[in-house]
Amino acid sequence: MGRIKKIFLDFLLAGVIFLLVISMFLLSSCKHQPPVYPLTDDTGNENPWDTTGGTNNCYPNTVYFEQQILPMIVSNCAMSGCHNTIDHEDGIILNSYSSIMSDGEISSGNPGDSKLYEVITETNPDDIMPPAPHPPLTSTQINLIYQWIQQGAQNNSCENTCDTSNVTYSGIITSIMQNSCTGCHSGSTPDGQIDLTTYSGVAATALNGTLYGSVNHATSYSAMPKGGNKLSTCQLDQIRIWVNAGAQNN
């Protein structure tokens, strides 16, 4: 009898463990998380924070704060009325590495424990950041922030070799706008009444001189991106080349 009871208990235990394993598997597969890229350079060496990037090229799977994260956060969170130094909504300022780390409550390596990641992925329309009428971040932008925190939320920087040979609106100008400008210059009430999400909006500023004047911080123009770092020399060259060639929709 004792033996049968023991076999029965063993079966029960095995059953419980089986159910636990299955439910853990199901739970983990339900969590929606972007893939985490390996922290290696092009040759497979683990050297994620080397900003010289070997041949002066940035590691493709490493997210760089200065070029990819800061401009996006300034444009989408530090616009007028929000988290800039003047308005600091809720006492929160998001315009530099140190303010983003502290006010964004970033937990290095743990996107899920970071307030900034939480609010941009919030499903409740009343709580999501940026709030309406500002458009939410795109999944590409959300993934970049996820990767950056996952990779240690470093204050890192890297610029690829500048390519000014073939500057087109679709290939280069739109990505500069999306990275540094459209958070403020989009939606139903864009900053300065200027919408930079469409070709016609960008072309209008290009042709009246305000685009290059403002990004080049020329006197008598409002310096752009407002409250953020000046665009890189490469980006300024690319914008100048595109404007001088007639700001075409190419």
Yes or no: say if 78 and 93 are a contact pair by the CB < 8 Å rule. Answer: yes
Q: CB of 202: closest distance to ligand HEC in angstroms?
A: 8
Q: With binding defined as CB under 6 A, does residue 167 bind ligand HEC? A: no
Between CA 238 and CA 11 the distance in angstroms is 70
CA nearest to 119, candidates 134, 109, 12: 134
Stretch 175-234 residues interacting with ligand HEC (CB under 6 A): 180-181, 183-185, 191-192, 194, 196, 205, 210-211, 214-215, 221-222, 224-228, 231
Between CA 244 and CA 216 the distance in angstroms is 14
The total number of residues shown for the chain amounts to 250
CB atoms within 10 A of CB 25: 10
Task: For ligand HEC, give the closer residue by CB, 63 or 202.
Answer: 202
Q: With binding defined as CB under 6 A, does residue 103 bind ligand HEC? A: no
Rounded to a whole number of angstroms, the CA Rg of the chain reads: 24
Task: For ligand HEC, give the closer residue by CB, 62 or 205.
Answer: 205
Q: CB of 115: closest distance to ligand HEC in angstroms?
A: 20
Q: With binding defined as CB under 6 A, does residue 151 bind ligand HEC? A: no
Where residue 145 falls (left for φ over 0; alpha for ψ -120 to 50; beta otherwise) is alpha
**Of the candidates 63, 74, 100, 203, which one interacts with ligand HEC according to CB under 6 A?**
74
Binding site for ligand HEC (CB under 6 A): 74-75, 78-80, 180-181, 183-185, 191-192, 194, 196, 205, 210-211, 214-215, 221-222, 224-228, 231
